[in-house]
Amino acid sequence: MDINETIKSQLDENSIILYMKGTPQSPQCGFSARTVQALMACGERFAFVNILDNQELREALKVYSSWPTYPQLYINGELVGGCDIILELSESGELETMVKAASKQAEA
- Whole-number pLDDT of residue 77: 96
Continuous segment of H or E residues that includes residue 17: strand 16-20
- Residue pLDDT, tens place only, 70-84: 999 999 999 999 999
- Whole-number pLDDT of residue 44: 96
Residues of the chain with pLDDT > 70, as a percent, come to 100
Residue 78: strand pairing partners: 75
- Cα 3 to its chain centre, rounded Å, is 17
* For residues 42-49, average pLDDT: 97
Q: What is the DSSP letter of 93?
A: T
Residue 48: strand pairing partners: 18
Architecture of domain 3-93: 3-Layer(aba) Sandwich (3.40)
- Residue pLDDT, tens place only, 25-35: 999 999 999 99
- Whole-number pLDDT of residue 1: 77
Edge-to-edge order in the sheet of strand 47-50: 47-50, 16-20, 72-75, 78-81
- Whole-number pLDDT of residue 108: 73
